[in-house]
């Protein structure tokens, strides 16, 4: 389904109104950030992905044809970029570039200084990072962003049946992990 | 206590219509099951709540930083060319680092010369060959060849800057990985994954 406001912003942006891009950023930045954060498990990497996704949006928006909704497209880019970032992280570890200092910086830098919120975020990051990537992906999009399986299938390119099975296993693992955390 | 698997199946949408009807009937008749469903919902809601925290300070910084990057990209063509060159070179450099033949079948300088003389098609074909190679545990080879990340960075610098004027220039391998396009990074990652070393 096409969001009329999105359509209007994109049209205005194509006509040269740069402010329309700002409006789209304001509308979607939190969704993009949280999806990336849940995929990557830390603020620094999520922040990098948010910027990459918004740069892609800026560069490709002129070619966007509304065959899918704008948010599905943005989730697709965010998912791909997050997986790419996870792969880079593994490459760095492999090449010994991720030492304890950068790990510390990643875990130390965050959205909030408030202890209670930090603890909640720590728990969220920890539980989600214990899920395999495919399960994390579907769990994040369904449980947090409340997308339908059909929308998730469009984003991930996977079958609805496969996604349901992944979600089931993710739910099972999350409930066990949450009980252990308490 | 373990969560009833039927609840998980129900919330995952894995039940057929008939299974769903039977389960919903049982749910409405069983206090125990209903309590379990409620506590499951509550647990998931609390979990979800953790990522509804919105820091206005952080979110206010995103747009200016993205705008700055857009403006930077718009201006100097030279920078783009360097970035492009580096991303292609980074693949070759990574190949150089992880090529087990670099010290066994040819000397480093032979390998560097060969890479320097390659055109883009040859470079792609080299990458293809690397992906096809089955050399067992490359990590051991890399450890024995380089030993430390300093040694790796020095090898990358050597591989990238071969001419006299740029000799001795420092190259940050971390930046090189950042300069890989997503496709290039995926390709290298997949290659390493296929060799079961990641």
Are A94 and B53 in contact (CB < 8 Å)?
Answer: no
CB-based contact B195:B134 (threshold 8 Å): yes
pLDDT digits (tens, 9 = 90+) for B123-168: 555 554 444 333 333 344 334 444 444 554 455 455 444 444 444 4
Q: Min CA distance, A101 vs chain B (Å)?
A: 14
A164/B contact by beta carbon, under 8 A: yes
Are A55 and B70 in contact (CB < 8 Å)?
Answer: yes
Are B55 and A54 in contact (CB < 8 Å)?
Answer: no
Q: In degrees, to the nearest 5, what angle opens at C-alpha B3 toward C-alphas B1 and B7?
A: 155
Q: Min CA distance, B62 vs chain A (Å)?
A: 7
DSSP assignment of chain A:
---HHHHHHHHHHHTT-HHHHHHHHHHHHHHHHHHHHHHHSSHHHHHHHHHHHHHHHHHHGGG---SS-HHHHHHHHHHHHHHHHHHHHHHHHHTT---HHHHHHHHH--S---HHHHHHHHHHHHHHHTS-HHHHHHHIIIIIS---HHHHHHHH---HHHHHHHHHHHHHHHHHHHHHH-
pLDDT digits (tens, 9 = 90+) for A37-86: 999 998 989 999 999 999 999 999 998 888 889 999 999 999 999 999 98
Percent of chain B clearing pLDDT 90 (strictly above):
19
Report the C-alpha gap between B152 and B170 in whole angstroms.
12
Residue with the two structure tokens 């579907």: A138
pLDDT band at B107 (very low <50, low <70, confident <90, very high): very low
What local confidence, expressed as pLDDT, does residue B177 receive?
61
């Amino acid at each position: 389904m096409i969001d009329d406001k999105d359509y209007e912003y994109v049209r205005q942006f194509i006509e040269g109104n740069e402010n329309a891009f700002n409006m789209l950023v304001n509308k979607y930045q939190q969704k993009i950030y949280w999806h990336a954060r849940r995929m990557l498990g830390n603020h620094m990497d999520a922040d990098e992905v948010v910027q990459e996704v918004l740069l892609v949006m800026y560069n490709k928006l002129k070619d966007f044809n509304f065959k899918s909704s704008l948010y599905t497209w943005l989730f697709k880019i965010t998912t791909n970029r997050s997986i790419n970032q996870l792969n880079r992280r593994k490459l760095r570890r492999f090449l010994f570039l991720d030492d304890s200092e950068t790990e510390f910086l990643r875990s130390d830098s965050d959205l909030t200084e408030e202890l209670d919120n930090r603890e909640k975020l720590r728990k969220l990051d920890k539980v989600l990072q214990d899920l395999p990537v495919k399960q994390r992906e579907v769990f994040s999009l369904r449980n947090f962003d409340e997308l339908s399986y059909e929308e998730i299938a469009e984003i991930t390119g996977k079958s609805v049946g496969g996604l349901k099975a992944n979600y089931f296993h993710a739910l099972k693992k999350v409930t066990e992990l949450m009980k252990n955390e308490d | 206590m373990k969560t009833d698997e039927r609840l998980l199946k129900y919330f995952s949408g894995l039940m057929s219509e008939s299974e769903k009807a039977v389960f919903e009937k049982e749910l409405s008749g069983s206090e125990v099951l209903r309590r379990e469903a409620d506590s499951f919902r509550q647990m998931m809601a609390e979990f979800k709540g953790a990522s509804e925290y919105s820091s206005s300070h952080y979110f206010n910084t995103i747009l200016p930083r993205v705008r700055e990057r857009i403006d930077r990209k718009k201006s100097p063509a030279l920078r783009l060319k360097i970035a492009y060159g580096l991303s292609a070179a980074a693949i070759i450099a990574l190949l150089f680092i992880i090529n087990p033949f670099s010290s066994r079948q040819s000397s480093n300088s032979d390998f560097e010369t060969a890479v320097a003389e390659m055109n883009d098609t040859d470079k792609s074909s080299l990458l293809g060959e690397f992906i096809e190679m089955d050399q067992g545990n490359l990590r051991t080879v890399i450890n024995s060849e380089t030993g430390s990340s300093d040694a790796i960075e020095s090898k990358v610098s050597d591989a990238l800057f071969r001419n006299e004027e740029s000799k001795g220039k420092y190259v940050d391998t971390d930046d090189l990985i950042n300069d890989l396009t997503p496709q290039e990074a995926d390709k290298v990652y997949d290659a390493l994954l296929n060799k079961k070393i990641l």
